[in-house]
Structure 1
Amino acid sequence: MGPEEKAAVIFNTTFVHPVKFYISGFSNIPHVKYFYVFLCFVYIMTVLGNGFLISVIYLVKTLHTPKYMIVFNLALTDLCGSTALIPKLLDTFLFDRRYIFYEACISYMFFVLFFGSVQSWTLVTMSYDRFIAICFPLRYHSIVTKPAIAAMLFSVWVFVLSVIGCMVGLIDRLSFCSSLVVKSFYCDHGPIFRLACNDTSLNYIMGYVAFIVILCIPLVLIALTYVCISIELSRIASGEERLKAMKTCTCHLILVAVFFLPIVGTNIATVSSQIHPNARIINSTLTHTIPALLNPIIYSLKTEEVLNSIRKLCNINKISNKTSKNVNTLSLLY
């Protein structure tokens, strides 16, 4: 065999991609199907909640503001992220279809990580909106405009697409020669690249880069904006004005806590101690699903503008129903 033929053979056998992976999920947990039924309920409520919030923002013209463009984006990514994860997860474990084709697994990984990462940076955009509103109130409407927020959100989608696309794309350069059992509840990045039998140092580096870019930097930026907001609020003499300004931030702070605390907690526990795989899977599952469920509830119940908009829509529906009944009665009389 000549050198060219040898090179061709080496090139062709460099990357060994399996036909399918096997997603292991939980091990030795009795009545685990009840957990998946719970996730099914979570998904239904997430779709209804986020779908309702998106509809309200779309239908009520008073909510067509830069602030609610960000809320709309968050609700949309919550809806897409839950749809990317939960239906496939239920199909995998409720119907015991644990084998997944290689290409489908890579796509699954990309969409779950992509929408989760967009949520993270959307919360940063929200904190920017609150920062300008409190620290530069007189210039708010000239700085936070619809084109500016649209450009920021578009940049978030493109930036996250490039980071996650690069991270997931690097999986394609790995060879899988032994175990194909993914010790997770979906095609998670870490559990998959650790199965490879060739050099995974680039994947480790990219995983850490993505962790810093998608979780650490957004958290630091949000913390900095609230430090600036706290300093600005301390200069306000009236306690009533201070409380009023803080109330505008409560929804965002709750969203940040619900999204970041479980993820950061799970990662710290994984790094600092040997967390049981079942505990890690439960934490990760709830981290991926519960924020998307709670976000529309928090915005619907805690935000006066949204509540007033819902009341307006209900009143419009009542008036239109009465009008249609009156028209029907008149048509019967004549």
Structure 2
Amino acid sequence: MKPNILSNDRDNARCYRGNEQNSSKLLGPMQYTMPAVNDTKFQPAVFLLTGIPGLENVHVWISIPFCLMYVISILGNSFILFIIKTDPTLHEPMYIFLSMLAITDLGLSISTMPTTLGIYWFHSREISHDACFAQLFFIQSLMLIESSVLLCMAFDRFVAICNPLRYTSILTTPRIAKMGLVSLLRGVTLIFPLPILLKQHRYCKDSILSQSYCRHANVMTMACSDISVNIIYGFFLTVSSLMLDFLLILLSYVMILKTVLSITSHVERLKALNTCVSHFCVVLLFYIPDTALSVIYRFVKNSSPIFLTVLGILYMLVPPLMNPIVYSVKTQAIRVRIIRVFVK
């Protein structure tokens, strides 16, 4: 009985090996499909946001000035809106555009505050792709809207100085409302394709963003597929919106300067220039960091992570923080109204 059992076992083993070889011949290339399916090269679930690299142990202390900046920017812009709304003497084109700027700054602060403070307070670095694309859409749209509002404010100063007699007839309330609506539609329409383009890509495992919020130039570099369309469209956006707005603002100031230099009275010349100082400071605060970030993301390969992170945070925090301060200090009507409120 034992030899029969052993011979049966050997026959069964040979049959098993024969079936295994036959199945491998029949499967051919398909026998390698399972490792490809189970491959973890792609992780389409989340991105990882970044605080300040190397300073993770003191993130709680770093969050204190950031939190104060957020609070001051929200309170400052809300106070500017309150002052303009409650004072009928400030219902003029210049201050209506300023209220649009304050609303945009409020939106930017609120869009970036949850993820930024979440990293420093709760070490919450993960953000889903859909949430990241949504945040990206709001941030980029509000940036483009703010650029349009700054261009409208430059046009307001141009008309006030170069053609003061027609100021009230050109900048009527319906026309100002149309300019604000066009700025809103322009920002939403031009930025709307970005999340759609980004959703078409696969993203590598350990997709670590270099900021505490989502930005198109940063997110698209995390893709494992071809991003040529994103690069082309992003460049088109930069040229056709931000760069065009900045050039038109510079052109308006060149014409303003030409008009001011033709004024014979030194006092009147300084008075005319003083009305533009606050707007020009806000323009520099907005465009210089944005241009620097765009250039670094596209052309600088080995830039410092700490420098990128700090520049990105300052870009999102400083303009909303400084805009109400600049206009409160440099604009006499707003300064007087604020003093009157606090004296009461």
Question: Are the structure 2 counterparts of residues 69 and 112 from structure 1 closer, same or farther at C-alpha, using a change threshold of 3 Å?
Answer: same
SS of equivalent residue, structure 1 residue 264: helix
Shift of 1:311: 4.2
Could you tell me how far apart the structure 1 residues matched to 2:236 and 2:341 are?
A: 45
Shift of 1:116: 2.0
Shift of 1:192: 1.6
Could you tell me how far apart the structure 1 residues matched to 2:109 and 2:46 are?
A: 23
Could you tell me how far apart the structure 1 residues matched to 2:174 and 2:191 are?
A: 26
Contact 1:50 1:296 in 2 (8 A): yes
Question: Are the structure 2 counterparts of residues 32 and 214 from structure 1 closer, same or farther at C-alpha, using a change threshold of 3 Å?
Answer: farther
Shift of 1:177: 4.6
Contact 1:263 1:287 in 2 (8 A): yes
Residue in 1 aligned with 2:234? 207
Shift of 1:59: 0.7
Could you tell me how far apart the structure 2 residues matched to 1:200 and 1:105 are?
A: 18
Shift of 1:168: 2.5
- Structure 1: state its 5+ residue gaps: 1-15, 319-334
For residues 212-243 of structure 1, the C-alpha deviation after alignment (integer angstroms, 9 at most, x for no partner) is 23421111011000011111112212222111
Question: Are the structure 2 counterparts of residues 269 and 19 from structure 1 closer, same or farther at C-alpha, using a change threshold of 3 Å?
Answer: closer
Could you tell me how far apart the structure 1 residues matched to 2:285 and 2:62 are?
A: 20
Is 1:305 aligned with 2:336?
no
Question: Are the structure 2 counterparts of residues 191 and 269 from structure 1 closer, same or farther at C-alpha, using a change threshold of 3 Å?
Answer: closer
Q: Which moved more, 1:165-174 or 1:292-301?
A: 165-174
Pick the aligned partner of 1:277 from 305, 316, 331: 305
TM-score between the two structures when normalised by the length of structure 2: 0.82
Pick the aligned partner of 1:157 from 168, 176, 184: 184
Is 1:118 aligned with 2:142?
no
SS of equivalent residue, structure 1 residue 181: coil
Residue in 1 aligned with 2:50? 24
Could you tell me how far apart the structure 1 residues matched to 2:207 and 2:278 are?
A: 43
- Structure 2: state its 5+ residue gaps: 1-41
Contact 2:97 2:153 in 1 (8 A): yes
Shift of 1:314: 5.0
SS of equivalent residue, structure 1 residue 100: strand
Residue in 2 aligned with 1:235? 262
SS of equivalent residue, structure 1 residue 182: coil
Contact 1:116 1:288 in 2 (8 A): no
Residue in 2 aligned with 1:220? 247
Contact 1:134 1:229 in 2 (8 A): yes
Shift of 1:298: 1.1
For residues 85-144 of structure 1, the C-alpha deviation after alignment (integer angstroms, 9 at most, x for no partner) is 023211133201111122111111111222122112211111000000011111111001
Q: Which has the larger radius of gyration?
A: 2
Is 1:180 aligned with 2:180?
no
Pick the aligned partner of 1:251 from 278, 282, 291: 278
Question: How do 1:52-131 and structure 2 match up within 5 A?
Answer: 52-131=79-158
Q: Which moved more, 1:98-107 or 1:18-27?
A: 18-27
Structure 1 counterpart of 2:238, one-letter code: F
Could you tell me how far apart the structure 1 residues matched to 2:296 and 2:219 are?
A: 20
Structure 1 counterpart of 2:239, one-letter code: I
Contact 1:117 1:160 in 2 (8 A): yes
Pick the aligned partner of 1:291 from 319, 325, 337: 319
After superposition, the CA RMSD in angstroms is 1.9
Contact 2:155 2:252 in 1 (8 A): yes
Q: How many residues align?
A: 301
For residues 172-227 of structure 1, the C-alpha deviation after alignment (integer angstroms, 9 at most, x for no partner) is 11122544322322122122212222221111111112222342111101100001
Could you tell me how far apart the structure 2 residues matched to 1:149 and 1:17 are?
A: 47
Contact 2:159 2:167 in 1 (8 A): yes
